[in-house]
Amino acid sequence: MLLDNLDKKALENFRGYVVRKDLASLIKGGANVPAFVLEYLLANTCSTEDEEKIKDGIENVKKVLREHYVNPEECNLIQSKIKEKGRYKIIDKIAVDLEPQKDHYWASISNSNIKKANISEELVKTHEKMLLGGIWAIIEMEYDPLIIIGTKVFPFVVRDIKPIQLSSFDGGRIADKRKNFTNEEWKILLLRSAGYEPGSENMGDRKQTLLLMRLIPLVEANFNMVELGPRSSGKSYIYKEITPYALLISGGQGTVAKIFVNNTTGRVGSVGEWDAICFDESTNKLFKDKDAIPMMKDYMESGSFSRAGKGGEIAGQASIIYNGNINQPVETVLQTSHLFSPFADEISHDTAFLDRINLFLPGWEITKFSPSNFTNHFGFSTDFFSETLKFQRKMTYYDVIDRYFSFGHHLKQRDSKAVRKIVSGLIKLLHPDGIFTKEDIREYLTLAMEMRRRVKEQLKRIGGMEFWDTNFSYIDKDTQEEVFVGLPEERGNDLIEKHPLPPGICYTSTSDGESNSLVKIEVVALKGSGKLNITGTNNSAVRENIKNTYNYLKANEKTILTEQHSLKGYDINIQITNLLGAYISEGVGSAVYVAIISAIYSKNLKAGLAVLGNISIGGVIEKSSNFADKTTLLSENGAKTILVPMDNLKEMTTLPASILGKTDIPFYSNSQMLLQKAVDG
């Protein structure tokens, strides 16, 4: 293997704690042993660039595995060896259960198929995770045929165990050595440590970032994450293979006793013992017990829960991850439903549950992995890597955002909490030395807002107006510039929807003379007292456009609206969203006009409709500036019909022929003509 500069730098700074990440897979073969077990054995002998030493190290690990690792089909042989030798060390997964009726702990040794092995209470207290799903360890077994309980012989005894993890960890090493790496180098080293090769095919910056974000629940306590994506994209790999501090639960296997608290023994469950709990295949049923859902809501909200009938709060620090498979394009799901719909019925429409999700990772952007996507370069050995991630849980960067930015008014308390936790997690991963710049934080803040907004956009689809405030933005404290953060999947290939537009939805384009923006208008008309609420823009000229249009409609509603649809009986909520471009500027009035009326009458607008122009307070149709640029922008982003003021007719010759071939461009001279040409059917 040819070492690159990062390999050499990793060896120079972390010798003894890095290993070639392909070695585990070379040794593993058909053995179902986690990567962190193999790399625990490899790290001490294979943390070198010397190929001969690596070969010797591999042979040594193979020998240890050959003699002590238990394959399930060898269970009878291993039991026989324990009997013959009296004492024998094995590498296996050990779990413990308490039999309260006999006040006795029993150990189960997974691959060895030993169901009831004696184990001392001291060992159980020292390694309590054996009670919560089990741990991988080097286990010293003993055989004693004289142990008789009742009339049965229970000869197997767990004499000692050594968990497969580092015995000590110096967190200062990471902080001290981080300064020797650039941001990009450190990011690549983290991804290689997780097994990925950033330089491989289909591993662009965006995909690398999404893969890195899978690690946030391991560094951020009480973090709630959802990922929806195709099969074979490694959604559960992180929590199964690279850390002994995460628990993977198959769909439908969650119980109150195991996850929260055992009412018989009083023992706190998985949320108190693990750093992360991943519910795999969450498109199936999640929990066996009905009362698990309300307890999980409490826990996801506050990190604690009440024990029914016992009083008091019980706390935990485990992060919660829900993984699910998606079998169709995300655009198809969004056309007919919402992105939580593939998940289990018990949560897919429970807005109170879903609103507690901090981060919705777009796993559909992470394609299935090929062999070339896994690295053969050096990365942290998984035991060192997992300890590094665990160590970072002690830190917090919750308030770092406030040094440079403030939140736009659409972010509610849960939104800002989620965004802060995501940014804190990214800082822990990428800047364990605590050294970062304003631009680093801007990048992480933009990502965080996208990931949380994805949750809110789906809640808006499910729960309506309660979750209307989705137009997330942040304000630069130095420049006072407000930046709005969108979602890539809300745009699809064409930002403008090609099917008939739902009531209240219309598109337009604005221009400040130098740059153009593609703008989405969303209007919701609710029974009320005639209030007007504008969100999504602080531009005074745009707000004035909207108010002028509203006041024109209000002054002329007797000729435009029926009596039962009077504006006096509605509260009009208008949200302006910048889908593409730098800034929204004036010229939105005509689009707002048709959106308001379609919302009041619940009428669809034409498929792919966009409207240019403005309506004055007196009803005059104002010419659209930068006509050719706006029309081109709208057409290229999916507009099928663009309604244009009559005063722009002379400029038709300035349009490219390609635009005229795919987009219909009718003209209007008054508000009545505008409405007639906008409404579908």
Same-domain pairing of 542 and 662: yes
- The region, left, alpha or beta by phi > 0 then psi within -120 to 50, assigned to residue 250 is beta
416 and 522 both lie in a single domain:
no
Is the entire prediction scored with pTM above 0.85? Answer: no
Domain final position from 147, 163, 179: 163
Predicted pLDDT at 309 = 54
- Residues of the chain short of pLDDT 70, as ranges, are 1, 28-32, 44, 165-168, 251-253, 307-311, 335-336, 464-465, 490-494, 514, 581-582, 681
Structure tokens that stand for 489 in this block: 């999947």
Task: Assess if residue 46 is contained within a domain.
Answer: no
470 and 508, same domain (yes or no): no
Q: Which of 181, 198, 249, 220 is nearest to 8 (CA)?
A: 181
425 falls within a domain: yes
**What's the confidence (pLDDT) of residue 166?**
66
Identify the three-state secondary structure at position 260: coil
- Beta bridge mates, 609: 641
Could you list the residue range(s) of the whole structural domain that residue 657 is in? 493-678
CA-based nearest residue to 158, from 134, 191, 188, 187: 134
**Do 462 and 506 lie in a common domain?**
no
Q: Please check whether residue 31 lies inside any domain of the structure.
A: no
**Residue 319 gets which letter from DSSP?**
E
Q: What are phi and psi of 88, to 5 degrees?
A: -160, 135
Residue 130 lies in a domain: yes
Q: What's the structural domain count of the chain?
A: 3
Domain match, 453 and 525 both: no
In the chain, % of residues over pLDDT 90 = 56
User: Domain boundary residue among 163, 178, 195?
Assistant: 163
Would residue 389 count as lying in a domain? no
Dump the DSSP string for 81-114: HHHHHSEEEEEEEEEEEEEGGGTEEEEEETTTTE
Q: Are residues 525 and 400 in the same domain?
A: no
Residues 456 and 563 reside in one and the same domain: no
Cα 614 to Cα 642: distance, rounded to the nearest angstrom: 14
The answer to whether the CB of 568 falls within 8 A of the CB of 636 is no
Domain final position from 163, 191, 206: 163
What pLDDT is recorded for position 90?
Answer: 94
**Judgement on whether residues 465 and 572 belong to the same structural domain of the protein:** no
503 shares a domain with 642: yes
578 and 450 fall within a common domain = no
* The pLDDT value given to residue 7: 93
CATH number at residue 504: 3.30.230.10
Q: Rounded CA gap, 86 and 299, in Å? A: 47
Is residue 359 in a domain? no
Q: Are residues 537 and 645 in the same domain?
A: yes
In a domain, 133, yes or no: yes
Tally of CB atoms within 10 A around 385: 24
Does 516 reside within a domain?
yes
Statement to judge: residues 426 and 544 lie in one domain: no
